[in-house]
Amino acid sequence: MIRVDHVSKSFDSKKVLQGISLSFDPGQIYGIVGHNGAGKTTLFRCIAGLESFDGAIQADRVPLKNYLGFLQTEPYFFNKMTGKEYIRLLCFARHHNIENIEDKNIFDLPLDQYASTYSTGMKKKLALTAILLQPNDYYILDEPYNGVDIQSNIIITEVLHRLRALNKTVILSSHIFSTLEDTCDKIFVLDQGVITKEVNQSDFKLLEEEMKQFSIGDKLDMLGLK
């Protein structure tokens, strides 16, 4: 369980998160949606302990970061580090000995090549593989489907279902609504640093319609497409 209690975060005068309170239970997958710049990544970084903040974040396993697999929006890779070495580094950092990495290569990545030369989707898959091979109880996945091919999309969705079955706590963001629909138990809508909605699975369709209405409205008419 992770409990976020009245968390606020500002960068200079810009308030990015404003008193956010949320609770994430084990065996559940939570989606966070919002516009670009709504504060999703900042919220994730606060939970991960990569940002200071006002308020409190508690977890049943402490320190939370030692049990957290954090997939960043744009994973960073050193030049001249192979995919295999990246995976080994992440496991080594958690005192987790890993053998036969090739056998666990679910996305068929070229693990002996330098990770910095991978495509965007491959980088995402490598970073995801590495945190899946760590012994984690919590997962924060910032845009896991970003740039990933269709086959891998299917695998990621199945992985998420498997994590839920294993009683892990998963929080993810995605700009592709259907991926959230397929995986999440609950979706939180984040707007300008405030949680404006909490939607259960039964109301996902309604939420999608609402978002469509709100996002598109009559904007397309402005283009005057003929």
Partner 1 sequence: MKEKFYLYLRYQFIRRHLIDWGLNPIVGYFLATVFFIGGSSILFYKTEYAPYIYALLAISIIQNFGKPDRIYFLKSIFTDRDLLRIRLIENILTSSPFILFLFYKHRYGIAIILSAISVLMIFVKSGNSFGKAIPTPFFKRPFEFILGFRNTWPVLFIGYALTIIGISVGNFNLAVFSVILPVLISITFYTNLENEYYIFIHSMNPNEFLISKIKTALSYSTLLSLPSIILVLSYYPDRSFIILGLTALGLLFLVASVLGKYSSYPRDINIPNGIMLGFCLLFPPLLLFLVPRFYRMSVTHLKAILS
CA distances from 153 to 91, 174, 175, 182, 217 (A): 24, 12, 13, 11, 29
Q: Looking at 28, 66, 153, 192, which residue binds partner 1 (CB under 8 A)?
A: 66
Sign of the dihedral through C-alpha 51, 82, 175, 171: negative
Q: Which is nearer to partner 1, 81 or 211 (CB)?
A: 81
Q: Is 90 in the site for partner 1 (CB under 8 A)?
A: yes
Q: How many beta carbons lie within 10 A of that of residue 61, not counting itself?
A: 14
Q: Is 144 in the site for partner 1 (CB under 8 A)?
A: no
Q: Which is nearer to partner 1, 141 or 180 (CB)?
A: 141
Q: Which is nearer to partner 1, 91 or 189 (CB)?
A: 91
Q: How many beta carbons lie within 10 A of that of residue 95, not counting itself?
A: 8
Q: Which is nearer to partner 1, 63 or 224 (CB)?
A: 63
Q: Which is nearer to partner 1, 85 or 191 (CB)?
A: 85
Q: Are 124 and 149 in contact (CB under 8 A)?
A: no
Q: How far is the CB of 204 from partner 1 (least distance, A)?
A: 32
Q: Is 76 in the site for partner 1 (CB under 8 A)?
A: yes
Report CA 87 to chain centroid distance, whole Å.
18
Q: How far is the CB of 126 from partner 1 (least distance, A)?
A: 12
Q: Is 129 in the site for partner 1 (CB under 8 A)?
A: no
Alpha carbon distance 133, 159 (integer Å): 12
CA angle 103, 106, 107 (to 5 degrees): 130
Alpha carbon distance 197, 208 (integer Å): 12
Q: How far is the CB of 171 from partner 1 (least distance, A)?
A: 16
Sign of the dihedral through C-alpha 213, 184, 51, 1: positive
Q: Which is nearer to partner 1, 14 or 95 (CB)?
A: 95
Q: Looking at 107, 118, 138, 145, which residue binds partner 1 (CB under 8 A)?
A: 118
Q: Which residues bind partner 1 (CB under 8 A)?
A: 48-50, 52, 63, 65-66, 70, 72, 75-76, 78-82, 84-86, 88-90, 92-95, 110, 112-114, 116-118
